[in-house]
A and B are shown apart, each in its own frame.
Chain A
């Protein structure tokens, strides 16, 4: 190695600064294309299709280790757990029958009021396989993708409430932007008095905020916020958050409300994607892409 490392080997080869400049230019071009025009999703999906199986394979040994560890659980522990689960199962079964009764009553009441029934959704259960390594945003990767019929824009919920929205779809996985992401917003309604507001993420796992709240708006700590369903993405009536604190106007004409998300944003492993039924799917997809383009 007696040559200077970056001296050109042949005269026609570019020098180091020139090559560096060229690559920087290409990088900036790619950045602009991805950030402003969303032009590279195909390339991204292609590379991801290669990386994803590797990632799965690398995670396998850990799962096996965990499985082996689970094998050596004492009998007593299992018996206790069994007992507890039985009890829990009974509780759940009771709750389920309650819910069925309430649902039946609800449809009856709706029919009575002659309101059009809300568009149906199918729940697609999915598992969180990865949290995104992006310091800028709150995103998770789930194990359902294009092959399972997922499309961008569909709402994601868990047992307690709204979690977020599918924002990017890969062949075997998709990316969900959590409600707590700064670029995510959801139209909600105060359960107590029907006040319509828009709630935004703050970038922290257990805080949501209402940014531009009217000074005299009737919102109190403890109020429950439900989705209003007027955006065409989130269905109406999904619990979103509980108001914790109202901050009075400070140098601005608007107040600000801090809320706690009800859905287990960043807590659970299993969530459900709400798949709109055929008639609503086209509309939702259209709206979804529109809102995706708008949000960043």
Chain B
């Protein structure tokens, strides 16, 4: 009789059977640092599973040879789809392979370390057990919705069964990530254990094969009430996105409700069938944004630079939040202001941020310890990066940089967070102006990913590269821009906001303006945006963008009046809107036509085009990336310039 093999080496996979009779299957994608499912890797998995089944082990453990488990499907595969048939055959390959894994006649366990995303999580769901490495780096997610794709390899079928429909829909519809402890709590993972017992837990669990914890009764009942759950979830989704803009979350609910989560079962003429979804432009545009984001990330790789200590001058909202984000990312931070009382509010906000984001008590304590109030500015001498975030006054900034240059280490990056002054003007305060770079954050700093890295004609390329590397180090997205008024983001927002204020002066309701732009796909309309930014800041920014060529007549009446009254927006509880518990109190918008949308968006698009033409950023793609991550420009439209070019067609 021919003996089944006990080990096998494929291009991306390796499996063997140990002395306990347990099979270990290791994913080690050739030539790459992370495991992703290409067509080839998926086909090999199917082969390996057939071999293992024939070898009849007592159980199977699947693990990764990399720092992370599996990043998901290779997004490049989506970008390369030539049409619906390509997409369908890729979906079917994964669907069948994972079903094969599920159908194995012995217990199976996924050993999850690091990222476990998309297809990786679906493979884990196919296993009997999931053992997660208890480490902050371990993250589970079904992020497909964010790139405009449905999680079609059984996530819509198995996730609700495993964690209950409530938690499952939350994960599937938002794409949010969860850590090992949370995964264990919701029943996704069976164990969350430290590295020292990671492997033995996987082995013993698979060999002992205990019964899994049953779903709570409520969730079991909800599993039988798909219609109710789906219609509730649809209402939640509708509060955030429109079906015509983002069909995927709606499709997920339809496929789960009507087809048990099997996308292959959906007739092609349904709006949520794979062919119809593939044809929808949102999908392609979201994939485009994914790659734009990767490009911004890569821009931080130009210099081999790692900051240990950051010194921030100015403990206002911006400076304080910049310091907090740096401390949260593991850097030592000194935060300078003129008196302890000016620094204290920043410490309070930091504590809240750390508690929200880090959760673990010890990690919160460590981040607090790394954030050092520094009234004398002694920390500047230790810093690898110094960020100025004081009030917008040229003379004050010049004087400050002259002082900082004298105490800073010669290799330290000197950066300003100015939004309205010219870098080259500030740089005159320095002996060596090539050291000054702009590192321009957006408010609220902890939430907004984009950071403009501004170079004047004098800024040395090496300094700009280091600044970009630092931006990546604190997990933000660097966008290199030229030292032109407003850089990219504020410059493009300027005419758009100006138009909005003019329309308000003409008597259009703010509610109507906001509704029009929200319908277009902006996360927030211009009136509410102005209130959020602060009307005083809008006024100041408008004046500085106009480079002083502004007469009183050019200032929108509404804006001038509100600022004069001290109604500065959300922060004072009264601006264009009145605020209750931080929420705008809005009336009913009027009906509007396409001409209003056109009037509002036209100046935005024109300014974006002009900025690219003037070389404020290197190319149109970078402008799109900056305006999506910096202003939230309707992501499903692929960016303003991409939108312009598709309109032209």
- Are both chains from one complex? no
Residues of A within 8 A of B (CB): none
Residues of B within 8 A of A (CB): none
